[in-house]
Structure formats: structure tokens, C-alpha cells
């Protein structure tokens, strides 16, 4: 009996990494009976007779799990954000950050396509970078010259001893960035990536790649940030700069909208917090407040 981590899932087989070795296993039938699907990233217990023959016995509790890509126990997400083509949107980035925080994942913001910016536009993005850094996020803004090596090395350094997933809107350049980080990946970019994993005979494979002593999901896919399954009053906890200053509010349950003695509103008046981020917070709060509950009807 041994313990390890599922490194790759491939058509019913689970490759487990344990003490630097890879073991190919199958899941015992009782997983199916209990409707438990092992995921890449799961910490597991398994038995083996050789590195090619083994059985998955137990899945340990997950820190988190995602649907797209289907992986578990993610530490951080690189939120790939294009400066142009498609144009940058505070609103979209803030929604993505909230989705990541809800999943107990640490976000890293990485701006792409900065080489398409002129000097004036690049100055604007230096201001955007400052907004998110002051909110408490790690932000990588490559220079608008052609040399991206420094930024790629910076992001690689963050992978050590972590499990990392990439996310971002279509066209943001996720596959291009992953290829720059690990050139042997050869991920399809552009339009062709839209058609991946859609064909009937495509082998269903989810896996990690090892980069700088860390594990990186080799498929950019985390994009489920359209709907949040949280109560409106919980939203404030997913804006780090609000969370850090909330104890200064007059009322403990302050949601920073209309309450008297609100420290967040006072900081906004002094331009100590981002008005764009606050605007997105209010918009999201209203959206959650007006969301109709979904009742699961049992047949």
C-alpha cells in the first residue's frame, strides 16, 4: 500500500506519482457504485504489483475541485488577461477573481498582448497593475517590448511546490503563454483550440505537466465564472481589500453599500480604493441579490 497523487487520467486509467515514480492504476468498482470519480490532483491511497499494474483504493479529502478542467486540490490559478484583442475589462477580471477566490485558489494575474500597446496605453496598464497589487494580488505585466523571457521566468518561479491551473476568456492567449512556458507542449492555439476534445473519437485525457518542481494542468479551461453560488452578503469576503479593512466599519455585518460608518466608503471618498473595483462589486452584489433561487425538483 502506498500514497501518491493522480498525475494523469486516461480512458479509465489513473497514473499516480509517488516518490518520483509513476504507477498506472485502475479504480476499484466500489468508486463507481458510490458515484465517486477520481480526479487528476487527488491525493490517494493505492496498491500495486508493478508500476504498470495497480488499484486505486481511497481518495483523501479535497481542498477544492473544478469541473473544467476536471481537477482537484488546485493551489493557484494564472488568470490570463489580454490587454487588447479582446480589450481589457475590469468587470470580467473582477468576476474571474471572485470565482477563483470562492474555490479557495490563489489568483495570479498575467497580462498578455502587451507588445501591441503603444507607450501611452502601456502607462495606463501600469496603473491597472497598481490597482490590483494594492488590492493584494500578484500581477505580472510583461513590458511592451518583444522580450517576454523575464516575465515567463517570473511565472515559472511561482510554480514550485504548487498545483497550478490556467484560466481566461477565449482569445486571451492561454495556450500561447503555456507554450512559451513549456515549448514541448505544442498546444494548439487560435481557432483550432476551439475544436479540441469535441470529436467522438478523441481520447479523454487530463494531465499535469511538471514545471519547476510544480504541477501545471496542461489544458487551459477554468472558465466557470458566470454564476456564483454564494449569498450576496458573502461577496465582500472575496474582495481582499474590503476584507482587510472591514473591521474598521461601524457595523460588523456591513456590506459596504448603504450602511453608516462604512470604512470602505470612506476610503473610496479619499481615493484609497479603486472606484472601478467598487463599481463591479456593487453590480455583482445587486446581481446576487436579485437572483432567483433554483429549486431542485425531485421526481
Please check if 170 is assigned to a binding site: yes
Annotated binding-site residue? 254: yes
CA distance 6 to 207: 9
At residue 47's C-alpha, the angle toward residues 41 and 52, to 5°, is 80
148 carries a ligand binding annotation: no
Alpha-carbon torsion (42, 46, 50, 54), positive or negative: negative
Say whether 189 counts as a known binding-site residue. no
- Of the chain, the end-to-end C-alpha distance in Å amounts to 42
77 labeled binding residue = no
263 is in an annotated binding site: no
85 is known to lie in a ligand binding site: no
Residue 174 is labelled as binding a ligand: yes
Query: Binding site annotation covers 172?
Result: yes
136 annotated to a ligand binding site: no
Find out whether 25 is annotated in a ligand binding site: no
262 is in an annotated binding site: yes
121 is in an annotated binding site: no
For residue 214, say whether it is annotated as part of any ligand binding site.
Answer: no
CB 43 within 8 A of CB 49: no
Is residue 12 annotated as involved in ligand binding? no
- Whether 203 has a binding-site annotation, put simply, is no
Is there a binding annotation on residue 168?
yes
Binding positions are 112-115, 168-176, 249, 254, 256, 262
Binding positions for Zn(2+) are 249, 254, 256, 262
Binding positions for GTP are 112-115, 168-176
Amino acid at each position: 500500500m502506498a500514497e501518491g497523487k493522480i498525475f494523469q487520467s486516461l480512458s479509465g486509467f489513473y497514473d499516480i506519482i509517488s516518490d518520483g515514480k509513476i504507477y498506472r492504476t485502475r479504480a476499484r468498482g466500489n468508486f463507481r457504485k458510490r458515484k465517486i470519480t477520481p480526479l487528476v490532483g487527488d491525493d490517494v491511497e493505492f496498491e500495486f504489483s508493478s508500476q504498470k499494474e495497480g488499484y486505486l483504493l481511497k481518495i483523501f479529502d479535497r481542498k477544492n475541485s473544478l469541473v473544467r478542467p476536471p481537477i482537484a486540490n488546485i493551489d493557484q490559478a494564472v488568470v490570463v488577461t489580454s490587454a487588447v484583442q479582446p480589450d481589457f475589462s475590469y468587470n470580467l477580471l473582477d468576476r474571474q477573481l471572485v470565482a477563483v477566490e470562492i474555490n479557495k485558489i490563489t489568483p495570479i494575474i498575467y497580462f498578455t498582448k502587451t507588445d501591441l500597446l503603444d507607450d501611452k496605453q502601456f502607462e495606463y496598464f501600469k496603473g491597472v497593475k497598481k490597482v490590483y497589487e494594492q488590492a493584494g494580488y500578484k500581477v505580472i505585466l510583461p513590458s511592451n517590448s518583444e522580450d517576454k523571457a523575464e516575465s515567463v521566468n517570473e511565472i515559472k518561479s511561482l510554480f514550485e511546490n504548487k498545483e497550478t491551473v490556467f484560466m481566461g476568456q477565449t482569445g486571451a492567449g492561454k495556450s500561447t503563454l503555456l507554450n512559451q512556458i513549456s515549448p514541448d507542449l505544442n498546444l494548439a492555439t487560435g481557432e483550432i483550440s476551439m475544436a479540441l476534445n469535441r470529436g467522438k473519437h478523441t481520447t479523454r485525457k487530463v494531465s499535469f505537466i511538471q514545471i519547476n518542481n510544480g504541477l501545471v494542468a496542461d489544458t487551459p479551461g477554468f472558465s466557470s465564472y458566470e454564476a456564483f453560488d454564494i449569498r450576496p452578503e458573502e461577496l465582500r469576503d472575496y474582495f481582499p481589500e474590503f476584507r482587510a479593512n472591514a473591521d474598521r466599519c461601524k457595523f460588523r455585518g456591513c456590506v459596504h453599500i448603504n450602511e453608516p460608518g462604512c470604512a470602505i466608503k470612506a476610503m473610496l471618498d479619499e481615493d484609497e480604493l479603486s472606484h472601478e473595483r467598487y463599481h463591479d462589486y456593487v453590480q455583482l452584489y445587486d446581481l446576487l441579490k436579485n437572483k432567483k433561487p433554483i429549486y431542485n425538483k425531485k421526481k
